[in-house]
Every structure is written in C-alpha cells, then in structure tokens.
Copies of this chain bind each other. A is one copy, B any other.
Amino acid sequence: MAATKQLLDYNVDEAVDLFVLLKSADVRTAKNGKQYIALVFEDQSGEISGKYWDASPDDIENYVAGRVVHLQGKRENYQTHPQIKIFHLRLTHPGEPNDPNSFIEQAPMSRAAMEEYITQTVFEITQPTWNRLVRKLLQEYADKFYTYPAAKSNHHAFQGGLAYHTISILKLAHSVVKQYPDLNAPLLFAGAILHDLGKTIELSGPKSTVYTLAGNLIGHIVLIDGELVRACDALKLDPQAEDVLLLRHMILSHHGLLEYGSPVRPALREADVLHQLDELDASIMMLDTVVEHTAPGEFSERVFAMDGRRFYRPTTTTPQPPTTD
C-alpha cells in the first residue's frame, strides 16, 4: 500500500496505488454505447483525471464527487494530457483515510499567517476612507476571503487561493513602492486587497467550484463595486467623493483592458501597477505548475490562459546564487 507518495508524484507508466478524493464524477456514454464515469482525482499535491469504463449502476452510485476512494492504476499520457489508467477502484474500508478535507489542495501559507499579513497591511492604509472601506468589506467577507480559491481553474485554484494570491500581490507591491516612492502606497494596498474580493460572490465556494448566477450575469468586478457602494452607505461616505472614486477605479480597471472585462482602463498610476502585479503573480503561479508537470528537456502542453504558448523546462542547472538583498 502506498503511503506518503502523492498523486502528482508519479511518473508516466509508474504504477499508482493510493487514497484520493473524487473531485468530480460525470457519467457519460462511450462510443460503444456503454456508460463510463469521467473522474477527477485530487489530493493535496493537485489533481488528475481518469476514466472508469463499463460502469455498472452500482459503480455510478458509489463513485460520486466528494468520496474518498482507494485507487490502483497506472500514470499515463492521453494526447499529452496526464491521466490515470484505472485498474481497480474501491470505496474506503473502516479505518482507512476518509476525510475529504485532508485531500484538498491548500494554500502554502496557513490561514493564521495570511490573516496576520493582511491585518498588518491594513495598518499601512493610512488614508482614512480607504482604511474604513477595506476593514468594512474584509469584515463582511472574511471567512470566504480566506477559504475561497482565486479561480475555478488555472492559477490559485486551491483552498485559500484567493487570500494567498492577494498576499502575493501585496508583497510585490511592497517592493514596488519602496523602489518607486512616488507611488501612492495606501491606494495600491487598498486596491490590491479588494481587487478580487468579488470572487467570494462570483464563485460558489472552495469545493467543486462553479460560477454563481451573479458571477455569470454581473461578474466579480462589478459585484464588489456594488458591495463597496453599500459599504459607503453604511459608513455614511459619499460613493462619488474623489477618494472613494479612486478606490473604485482601482478595482474596476484591474483587468487592464475592456476586452478582459474591466469597464474602464487604468487611469491612475497605481491602477496600472495593480493590473501588472496581478498578471505577474498569476502567470508565475501558473507557470510554476506547468513547469513542474513537464520533464526537463521537454516543452509543456499548450497553456491556454497564456495564449496557448508552450513552455520549455531546461536541463541546464545552476548553482544557487549567493543571497543578496
């Protein structure tokens, strides 16, 4: 029985034997008319798909999303996509691992550490209106903010991903304001904290994440703008005062281009910087995963969220540089 090895640690053609969570399970009809289950397996290392052929009615009832199962099979590639060829699948026995939560991918930073970092940054938002609005909205959405993913897929699609992505941007933002002191740090920090908070309304939650109706019809950018306007009412602030408009603009313009869903393009230095830092963090996170799944000397699959480019993992190794600051 496999123990410490995890789902994404297996190489192509290696035999797989471990407990995993069924992240999703869709029943479909094969070309030959029989039913099969398209499964996505998950543990803390990530996720991978597999097909369960010739599914019986019992199988269909047993193997549903959210169940922990014991999986035996082989790691393969199907048209360059990694998958598990399933040899044997069964429900867990009493005494075996059974808690779905222990199989879910988590942000690489504890919730406590993330809360600490955010709280610390809020202190640096020295402009009172922005400070009050950020506190008010964080308070209202705290629980979702620290547990939701940042996206359905692609980058930061794990529990706590939304807060983790926000913190990564804040770290970059701290470096940037140190290097370019003319930038308005409190505005940049406040904008960064709120920029994706609307995802707590756009997405359904940390597990089996889908778009809500509000997400589909309004989108997270305008949703959080609406909540910010409500917060103004609650705090007796004028939503059209300059300082509020600046913060709303930071959020509304952070996708950079109208085509990407921002109703306005950045018209403040800090808004332009926020947009760029958002892209920088998202792309590095995505490419880390992509490169990790690629063998040295090979090109990755096409990365759709990066214009379908393929990325190369070099074989050249380098000694770590001496640390500098």
The stretch of A17-25, A91-99, A255-263 in contact with B is A255-263
A269 x B288 contact (CB < 8 A): yes
- Given A239-B226, A321-B126, are A261 and B259 neighbors across the interface (CB < 8 Å)? no
Report the bound CA distance from A36 to B31 in whole Å.
10
Residue of chain B at shortest CB distance from A318: B127
Residue A65 at the B interface, CB < 8 A? no
How often does this chain occur in the complex, in copies? 6
**Is A235 among interface residues, defined by CB-CB distance under 8 A?**
no
Q: CA A29 – CA B322 in complex, angstroms?
A: 48
Task: Determine if A182 and B288 form an interchain contact, defined as CB atoms under 8 angstroms apart.
Answer: yes
Q: Can you list, as one digit per residue, whether each of A4-34 has a CB less than 8 Å from chain B (1) or not (0)?
A: 0000000000000000000000001111110
A184 at the interface (CB under 8 A from B): yes
Which of A39-47, A144-152, A166-174 binds B?
Answer: A166-174
Tell me which of A55-63, A132-140, A153-161, A210-218 binds B. A210-218
Could you tell me if A126 and B225 are in contact, using CB atoms closer than 8 angstroms? no
Kindly report which residue of chain B lies nearest to residue A269, judged by CB atoms: B287
A137 to B214, CA, bound (A): 21
Are A322 and B31 in contact (CB-based, < 8 A)?
no
Which of A176, A259, A309, A321 has the most C-beta atoms of chain B within 10 angstroms of its own C-beta?
A321
- A276 close to B (CB within 8 Å): yes
A106-146 interface bits toward B, Cβ cutoff 8 Å, 1 = contact, 0 = none: 00000000000000100111110000000000000000000
Inter-chain contacts of A315 with B (CB < 8 A): 242
Q: Which of B265, B273, B288 has a CB less than 8 Å from the CB of A280?
A: B273
The answer to whether A221 and B263 have CB atoms under 8 Å apart is yes
- Chain B residue numbers with a CB within 8 Å of A261 are 258, 263-264
B175 lies within 8 A of A267 (CB):
no
Chain B residue with Cβ nearest A290: B269
CA distance A312 to B272 in the complex (A): 12
- Given A226-B239, A229-B229, A248-B217, do A187 and B279 touch, yes or no (CB 8 Å)? no
User: Which residues does chain B contribute within 8 Å of A266, judged by CB atoms?
Assistant: 309
A218-B249 in contact given A288-B269, A318-B186 (Cβ < 8 Å)? yes
| Measured CA separation A16–B125 after assembly (Å) | 40
A283 at the interface (CB under 8 A from B): yes
Chain B residues with CB under 8 A of A32: 30-32, 53
Q: Does A85 contact B (CB under 8 A)?
A: yes
Asked if A68 is at the interface (CB within 8 A of a chain B CB), the reply is no
A90 within 8 A of B: no
Given contacts A217-B249, A269-B287, is CB(A186)–CB(B280) below 8 Å?
A: no
25 chain-A/chain-B pairs, Cβ below 8 angstroms: A28-B78, A32-B53, A33-B53, A124-B322, A175-B176, A184-B314, A185-B321, A187-B318, A201-B240, A213-B245, A217-B245, A218-B225, A221-B263, A222-B222, A222-B252, A225-B225, A229-B230, A242-B314, A243-B314, A243-B316, A258-B259, A261-B263, A267-B299, A272-B306, A273-B283
Having A175-B176, A223-B240, A273-B284, one finds 11 other A-B pairs with CB under 8 Å, namely A29-B85, A30-B31, A123-B321, A184-B314, A185-B318, A213-B242, A214-B240, A222-B248, A222-B264, A229-B229, A246-B316
